[in-house]
Structure 1
Amino acid sequence: MVNYRYLGNSGLKISEITYGNWLTHGSQVENDVAAQCVRAALDAGITTFDTADVYANTAAEQVLGDALKGQRRESLEIFTKVYWPTGPKGPNDTGLSRKHVMESINGSLQRLGTDYVDLYQAHRYDVETPLEETMQAFADIVRQGKALYIGVSEWTADQIRAGAELAKDLGFQLISSQPQYSMLWRVIEDEVVPTSRELGLSQIVWSPMAQGVLSGKYVPGKELPAGSRATDAKGGAQMIERFMRDEVLERVQRLKPVADELDLSMAQLAVAWVLQNDNVAAALVGASRPEQVAENVKASGVTIPAELLATIDDVLGDVVERDPGKTLEGMPKTRVA
Structure 2
Amino acid sequence: MKYRRLGQSDLKVSEISLGSWLTFGVGVEADAARACIDKAFDVGINFIDTANIYGRGAAERFLGEALAGRPRDSYVLATKLYFPMTETDRGLSAAQVEKQLDASLQRLRTDHVDLYQCHRYDEETPLEETMQALTRAVESGKTRYIGFSEWPADKIRAAIEMAGVARFVSSQPQYSLLWREPEAEVIPLCAANGISQIVWSPLGQGVLTGKYDPDSPPPADSRANDPEMGGWMDRFMDRPILAAVQKLKPVAADAGLSLAQFALAWVLREPNVASAIIGASRPSQVVENAAASDATVDPALFAQAERIMAEALD
Tell me the TM-score normalised to structure 2 length: 0.98
Deviation at 1:221, TM superposition (A): 1.2
Aligned partners of 2:255 and 2:301 also within 8 Å:
no
Q: Which moved more, 1:121-130 or 1:68-77?
A: 68-77
Aligned to 1:317: 310
Contact 1:80-1:121 at 8 Å conserved across structures: yes
Q: Distance between the aligned counterparts of 1:52 and 1:221, measured in 2? A: 36
Aligned to 2:214: 220
Can you list the C-alpha shifts for 1:122-151, whole angstroms capped at 9, x where unaligned?
A: 000000000111011000000000000000
Measured in 1, the distance between the counterparts of 2:296 and 2:116 equals 30
1:106 corresponds to which letter in structure 2?
D
The separation in 1 between residues aligned to 2:186 and 2:23, in whole angstroms, is: 28
Report Cα offsets for 1:189-235 as digits up to 9, x if no partner: 0100110011110100000000011111111111211121111111x
User: Retained in 2: the 8 A contact 1:9–1:201?
Assistant: yes
**Alpha-carbon distance in 1 for matches of 2:128, 2:312:** 39
**Which residue does 1:105 correspond to in 2?**
101
Q: 1:277 aligns with which of 270, 273, 283?
A: 270
Contact residue 161 and residue 199 of structure 1 kept, 8 A: no
Tell me how far 1:317 sits from its aligned partner. 2.1
1:67 aligned residue? 66
- Contact 1:219 / 1:250 at 8 angstroms: preserved in 2? yes
Q: Say if 2:87 is the partner of 1:90.
A: yes
Deviation at 1:33, TM superposition (A): 1.4
Aligned pairs, how many? Answer: 314
- How far does residue 9 in structure 1 lie from its aligned partner after superposition? 2.1
Structure 1: distance between partners of 2:64 and 2:48: 10
Q: Counterparts of 2:144 and 2:38 in 1: how far apart (Å)?
A: 24
Of the three residues 170, 185, 196, the one matched with 2:190 is 196
Counterpart among 163, 176, 180 of residue 182 in structure 1: 176
Residue identity opposite 2:87 in structure 1: G
Answer yes or no: is the 8 Å Cα contact 1:34–1:63 preserved in 2: no
Aligned sequence identity (%): 52
The AA in structure 2 aligned to 1:5 is: R
Match of 2:128 among 125, 132, 136: 132
Contact 1:276–1:303 (Cα < 8 Å) also in 2: no
Per-residue CA shift, 1:163-195, capped at 9, x if unaligned?
Answer: 2222xx224210100000000100000100110
Amino acid across the alignment from 2:188: P
Code of the residue aligned with 1:198 in structure 2: it is A
Larger mean Cα displacement after TM superposition, 208-217 or 6-15: 6-15
> Any conservation in 1 of the 2:150–2:172 contact (CA below 8 Å)?
yes
AA in 2 matched with 1:293: V
Tell me if the contact between 2:147 and 2:168 (Cα under 8 Å) persists in the aligned partners: yes
Equivalent position of 2:111 in the other structure: 115
Q: Secondary structure at the match of 1:199?
A: coil
Report if the CA contact (8 A) 1:84-1:123 is conserved.
yes
Per-residue CA deviation, residues 20-62 of structure 1 (Å, 9 max, x unaligned), is 0100011111112111111110111111100000000100001
Structure 1 residues 232-247: aligned runs within 5 Å: 232-234=226-228, 236-247=229-240
Contact 1:8 / 1:200 at 8 angstroms: preserved in 2?
Answer: yes
User: Cα deviations across residues 253-307 of structure 1 (Å, max 9, x unaligned)?
Assistant: 0001111112211111111110001110000001001111111111012232121
Are positions 1:290 and 2:283 aligned together? yes
SS at match of 2:294: coil
Aligned mates of 1:320, 1:108 — CA distance in 2: 39
Aligned position for 2:241: 248
Structure 2: gaps (5+ residues): none
Q: What does residue range 260-275 of structure 1 map to in structure 2 within 5 Å? A: 260-275=253-268
TM-score of the two chains, using structure 1 as the length reference: 0.91
Change (3 A) 1:320 1:274: farther
Q: Which amino acid aligns with 1:148?
A: R
- Check whether the contact 2:34–2:66 (CA below 8 A) recurs between aligned residues: yes
Q: What is the letter of the counterpart of residue 123 of structure 2?
A: V
- The equivalent residue for 1:326 is none
Match of 1:210 in 2: 204
Unaligned stretches of 5+ residues in structure 1: 322-337
Counterpart of 2:70 in 1: which secondary structure? Answer: coil
DSSP 3-state at the match of 2:181: coil
Q: CA deviation at 1:313?
A: 1.6
Q: Which residue of 2 aligns with 1:324?
A: none
CA distance in 1: counterparts of 2:43 and 2:78, whole angstroms = 19
